[in-house]
Amino acid sequence: MTDPPSGEAAFLVPGTVEAAVEALGAAGAVAVAGGTSIGLLVGQGLLAPSVLVWLGRIPELSVLEEGDGQMSIGATTTLATLAAHPRVRTAVPALADAAASVGNTRVRAVATIGGALGHADPRQDLPPALLALDARVEVAGGRGRRHLAIDELIDGFMSTDLGPDEVITAVRVPLVDGRRSCYLRFTPGSADDYPTVAVAATAEVADGVPTAVRLAIGGAGPAAYLVPEAEQVEGAPEGRWAAEVAEVAEAAARRADPVDDRLGSAAYKRRMVAVWARRALERCLGADGVQP
Amino acid sequence: MKLHARVNGSPFVAEVPATSSLLEVLRGAGLTGTKEGCRIGVCGVCTVLVDDRPVSSCLYLAGCASEADIWTVEGMAERAPSVVDAFVECEGMQCGICTPGQIVAVASMGPDVRDENGVRRYLSGNLCRCTGYGTIVDAALDAQARRRGEVAPT
């Protein structure tokens, strides 16, 4: 490829992860997958990359397969693919529902799971779902590959632990027999808007008794966060969760660090975290009569 | 960069900045049926097909269309004649600004979209300020029925 005119971005189309990593080593290089966020930032003049490295032609990144007790989801898997995937829908419905909630049909058709995580916008749907599901992210870079939890990858407001030459290659979601999961978002505006708060819950329920309860919250802080108090619900006898669930929901609200914006005041978001955390836990545990 | 693609079934080559939007590229090539609306991927008037997927061409980086099969509203009479017929029959338009995007969006629907709820959900990102959506939903349902062979072509 010839050099572009000065001031104009070069556009590279690597065919392997290794070539992408090498290309990302250039100053001002930015990785692009579906391009919905990068296209927006570039279009609004907020980002002026010197090199665009498109990941859309790397076969390894689009693999979606099940094996070794986990679902391995290539980084360029689109949200539409995730939302429609029969096994994702049945085994990890929180992920399918989160993917189906993003933006509109056109966004979901091209936006990717890797792009959503790399962008690290705290209002996004996928991070809380993947955090609750205890997913891990595979990252490739000049020093090889490493694996991170969601809250290790996303370490602040639109900030990740990724080095400049690193790229997300896959997301691995554990598949656990008997695990239930659900994702709920509170979106008082139009359906394509970001959620005011987003909540994901997972639990294993055997003989009506929940174990391995995880709760994650999005939209209510600089990054999605786990609520470790969720373990208080574990072991409660069937149908006798109400007090524990209420306590966990309040703990989730205490851990929130929201800001005032057009999606709601900080105080409002904090209250909505408690309300939607309770609903998500009830749904996940089956207490509201709706199967997750 | 030099963009090589296919547009409405014909080879397409253009020298464009890699960061230009596909919308700019298409309109710059005289394909002005695709409209510019919100410029942030929300309104849907700039919807085109890229490798069978509906995209907001205002957000879609031209480079990501390399080697792609692109269809715009100008190609819909060839690519999806039943959708065009359905919009005409049902008068699924009023002022017409959103119509190119509506037609392309309906052309991208899979067979799983069969009922009014499915149509409304699928098209919820294609905004219309005139019709109240009733005739657009009618046109989409009619187009899907035509594709299933349930309505005689006009």
Same domain, B101 and B66: no
Cross-chain CB nearest to A109 (options B54, B58, B124):
B54
CATH topology of domain A179-285: Enolase-like; domain 1 (3.30.390)
Interface of A with B (CB under 8 A): 1, 4, 8-11, 13, 32, 34-36, 38-40, 42-44, 48-49, 52, 54, 56, 80, 103-107, 109-110, 191-192
Same domain, B92 and B66: no
In a domain, B132, yes or no: yes
Number of domains in chain B: 2
Same domain, B36 and B86: no
Cross-chain CB nearest to A39 (options B53, B60, B125):
B60
Same domain, B15 and B70: yes
In a domain, B24, yes or no: yes
Residues sharing a CB contact under 8 Å with residue A135, sequence separation 6 or more, in sequence order: A149, A150, A171, A172, A173, A174
Asked if B54 lies within 8 A of A105 by C-beta distance, the reply is yes
CATH number, position B21: 3.10.20.30
In a domain, B113, yes or no: yes
Burial category of B145 from C-beta neighbours within 10 Å (exposed 0-12, middle 13-18, buried 19 and up):
middle
Same domain, B7 and B39: yes
pLDDT along chain B (154 residues), means of 10: 96 94 97 96 97 97 95 98 96 97 97 95 95 97 93 60
Q: Which of B21, B49, B75 is the last residue of a domain?
A: B75
Q: Which of B75, B104, B132 is the last residue of a domain?
A: B75
Select from A6, A8, A11 the residue whose CB has the most chain B CBs within 10 Å, as the one to mutate to test that interface: A11
CA of B121, closest CA in chain A: separation in Å?
Answer: 9
Same domain, B110 and B81: yes
Write the DSSP symbol of residue B40. Answer: S
Check if the beta carbon of residue A281 is closer than 8 Å to that of residue A249.
Answer: yes
CATH topology of domain A60-174: 3.30.465
Same domain, B63 and B89: no
Asked if A39 lies within 8 A of B21 by C-beta distance, the reply is yes
Same domain, B83 and B50: no
Domain that holds residue B120: 76-147
Asked if A36 lies within 8 A of B56 by C-beta distance, the reply is yes
Angle (nearest 5°) at CA A92 between A88 and A98: 85
Write the DSSP symbol of residue A223. Answer: S
Chain B residue numbers with beta carbons less than 8 Å from the beta carbon of A104 are 41-42, 44, 124-125
Same domain, B28 and B61: yes
Output the pLDDT for position A1: 46
In a domain, B81, yes or no: yes
Sketch the domain layout of chain A as residue ranges.
10-54, 60-174, 179-285
Taking the C-alpha atoms of residue A248 and residue B134, their distance in angstroms, rounded to an integer, is: 44
Output the pLDDT for position B106: 98
Output the pLDDT for position A2: 47
Same domain, B68 and B88: no
Classify domain A10-54 by CATH number.
Answer: 3.30.43
Chain A residue numbers with beta carbons less than 8 Å from the beta carbon of B40 are 40, 43-44
Q: Which of B75, B108, B136 is the last residue of a domain?
A: B75
Question: What are the distances in angstroms from CA B51 to CA A205, B61, B87, B89?
Answer: 43, 14, 23, 28
In a domain, B152, yes or no: no
Judge whether A10-54 and A179-285 match in fold: no
Same domain, B65 and B109: no
Sign of CA dihedral A185, A191, A192, A193: negative
Asked if B60 lies within 8 A of A42 by C-beta distance, the reply is no
Question: What are the distances in angstroms from CA B112 to CA A151, B55, B83, B144, B145?
Answer: 36, 19, 16, 10, 12
CATH number, position B140: 1.10.150.120
Same domain, B92 and B46: no
pLDDT in tens, chain A (292 residues): 445 555 689 999 999 999 999 999 999 999 999 999 999 999 899 999 999 999 999 999 999 999 999 999 999 999 999 999 999 999 999 999 999 999 999 999 999 999 999 999 999 999 999 999 999 999 999 889 999 999 999 999 999 999 999 999 999 999 999 899 999 999 998 888 999 999 999 999 888 889 999 999 999 999 999 999 999 999 988 778 899 999 999 999 999 999 999 999 999 999 999 999 999 999 999 876 666 6
Output the pLDDT for position B15: 95
